[in-house]
Amino acid sequence: MGRRTTATLADGREILYFDLPGAPDRVLTDPRELDPVSTASQLRHDPALDEWVVLASHRQNRTFLPPADECPLCPSRDGRHTEVPSPDYDVVVFENRFPSLSTHADPVEAVLPELVASAPGIGRCEVVCFTSDHNAAFATLSPTHARLVVEAWADRTTELSALPGVAQVFCFENRGAAIGVTLAHPHGQIYAYPFVTPRTRQMLASAAAHAERTGTNLFADLLAGERKAGTRVVAANEHWTAFVPAAARWPVEVHLYPHRRVPAIPALSDAERDAFTLLYLDVLRRFDALHDRPLPYIAAWHQAPAGPGAEHAYLHLQLSSIQRSADKLKYLAGSESGMGVFITDVLPEDVARRLRSV
């Protein structure tokens, strides 16, 4: 679908244009003079939780909420040069200028070698600009344009998964100042981790235990159960179902599952990608209609990692918001932050009913 063009930014970072049919050729030369990208990221292993922590102190000075006329994700126009050299684009992906992980991460010294393992922060972080329109949102994209974003996710998942040392690829979007975004331009990110993330490890371990006990796939059973119950289903089509999970943690939380079990975005058929695009736009617009204002959210793709456990994976998207009412946010306080036990103030069935009604 469309055309893909690859170029290099002034500091050596890769940039990729994904364009719809008929789009003009893009400007590929970056005239800026840029400092080298930091390669100081490192990993430290927390032995108490058996989790890796990424340390990237250079990100403290990254660009923070610039005015619209100084947005680095807008196209380069009227003599102002940004991260995107071309004066327009459809969808563009480039390596993050302030990466949490780097393919060129420096060697590190151990801090507590007997207890805390250390390693270079090997990996890759990319920015995905959904549109050149600074005032747009994913929810306002046309189906054709949003479908191009899905193609970009699939392309990057395939390429990043093939990089040496990459164990998991995570496509996501943070939307809204309440979530903590540092750039208002509609965009998402992709992380290529050198380890399997704690959430994925836990989910796959649960799925493995379920398979041993029942002989079936946990995620397929969850989807079948929600479709049969119907009370928490928000919307559905031939290939996908969107539902509020029965044990939802967030004030507004919807999971989108394909009806056919696939491990990752690249495995989706054209028909499944088309159907996802339409359903996702529908759900995002319901989110914004819930309180008649743009809802802050995190959209997180759960894909199969490389290696053991991947056979239990089931691709799905988790969409969640901390907005618990029109004028109140949910904060992670004592029970959630201290013990990891979520306490919710709304019933999932009520959230699903409200989303269906808007």
**3-class DSSP string for the chain:** CCEEEEEECCCCCEEEEEECCCCCCCCCCCCCCCCCCCCCCEEEEECCCCEEEEECHHHHHCCCCCCHHHCCCCECECCECCCECCCCCCEEEEECCCCCCECCCCCCCCCECCCECEEECECEEEEEECCCCCCCCHHHCCHHHHHHHHHHHHHHHHHHHCCCCCCEEEEEEEECHHHCCCCCCCEEEEEEECCCCHHHHHHHHHHHHHHHHHCCCHHHHHHHHHHHHCCCEEEECCCEEEECCCCCCCCEEEEEEECCCCCCHHHCCHHHHHHHHHHHHHHHHHHHHHCCCCCCEEEEEECCCCCCCHHHCCCEEEEEECEEECCEECCCCHHHHHHCCCCCCCCHHHHHHHHHHC
Residue 312 annotated as part of some ligand binding site: no
Residue 129 annotated as part of some ligand binding site: no
Give residue-wise pLDDT tens across range 316-355. 999 999 999 999 999 999 999 999 999 999 999 999 999 9
**pLDDT category, 25, cuts 50, 70, 90?**
very high
Residue 171 annotated as part of some ligand binding site: no
**Domain closes at, from 147, 178, 195:** 195
Q: Are residues 102 and 237 in the same domain?
A: no
Q: Are residues 117 and 228 in the same domain?
A: no
Residue 45 annotated as part of some ligand binding site: no
The per-residue pLDDT for 337 is 95
**Domain closes at, from 161, 195, 229:** 195
**Domain closes at, from 171, 195, 219:** 195
The residues annotated as belonging to the active site are 187
Domain span at residue 319?
A: 199-357
pTM for the model? 0.97
**Number of folded domains in the chain?**
2
Q: Are residues 82 and 178 in the same domain?
A: yes
The per-residue pLDDT for 308 is 85
Can you give the CATH number for the domain in which 221 is found?
3.30.428.10
**218 pLDDT more than 90:** yes
Give residue-wise pLDDT tens across range 225-261. 999 999 999 999 999 999 999 999 999 999 999 999 9
